[in-house]
Structure 1
Amino acid sequence: MTALTKPLRRLLVATLTLVAALAVIVLPQSPASAWARIPGGCESPTTAVKWSDQTGGGNYGSPAHAAIASWEATSTPLSFQLVGDGTHHLAVNKTNFGADDEYAGIIYTSVGTRLPTCSGTGAPWPVKITAFLNTAYTDGYPAQGKQSVYAHEIGHFLGLGHTGVGPCVSYPLMLSGYATRYGSCGIYAPRSDDINGINGIY
């Protein structure tokens, strides 16, 4: 009886160990840990963000305001105040960078440099940031498509980098690539992973 019990016990332990190992391999990454910081680690200097609308209104003003509102509606410490006196931390704008520029949206500093370096991860942007839409692409986008790009670029200003755990139901706003993010998945506002990221940063 004892001779039979030990092999069975060993087999049971081996089976349970194998099942546990397979669970680690097969189970997806927790959405709470999927978000990433932007390269360089910069972030907004404050959660009370002052922003400036430099779009000139028209077909770009409403999507820009909707993008800001989508971030303000999240369960995070963020708040946004529209200002016109030059005291802003973030501006939203549009320009034609041409089709040679592969991006529908981009963040620039007020001195025209992409992604300036910070003094370290968690440090504020050293200068004012402008979230641009490249009209060479975005003139053909619907309003929610423009909102998707603005909201994505605002996420970069807030400190979030590109990430994505699919399929559509779990993709974040910070997924790189308009064609999948909005074109296929219809994402135009922050989702749970993006919110987790902001709460992780601030």
Structure 2
Amino acid sequence: MSSQSLISIAILALVISFANSYDPSPLQDFCVAIDDLNGVFVNGKFCKDPRRVTAKDFFFSGLNIPGNTSNQVGSNVTTVNVDQIPGLNTMGISLVRIDYAPNGQNPPHTHPRGSEILVLIKGTLYVGFVSSNQDNNRLFAKVLHPGDVFVFPIGMIHFQFNIGNVPAVAFAGLSSQNAGVITIANAVFGSNPPIDLQVLARAFQLDPHIVVELQAKFGA
């Protein structure tokens, strides 16, 4: 066998191993998360003894209750991930309910570990995401009405804004048991400890005094 063929086979094997290791298929019926050092450690969580698993481990109640939107951004995210439903552990899915006051928004943010599919139940939303630098930071945006669905690819900065005069409600599924969230403004201007003033002033082309004001708004 030629050296070129061996290289091709090695590269193919490497690609396949990466694909398989990213989101492997479960090797058992479930792996209910438990805070027990005597369990089996799997991807950040210990697994409950299957013989002790009950229906309660797969259950959550309360997504029918509106979230409190009386805050600076006018929205509330009710999260249902592995912390709320231990049975989600290793399943690669989670769910959120998002409530928006009139003119409320879910500000620009990103989920580092999951893609998101959102369905609007009530109200009117302006939603969108921005692609990466490689794609010239293109904005993909739509106005959604009840029953409309929009997808936010993994890692992309995205947002939702209630452009209606009544409260809005949406539900979203994420391709991770714990997709994580990074709210851009909070992370950049509210980091702990703060990012150096000159770094932010130059990066955002702002007067340093404005950066100080923004850090005061978003800081702890």
TM-score normalised by length of structure 1: 0.28
The structure carrying a bigger helix percent of its residues is 1
The structure carrying a bigger strand percent of its residues is 2
TM-score normalised by length of structure 2: 0.27
Q: Relative contact order, CA 8 A, sep 6+: which one is greater?
A: 1
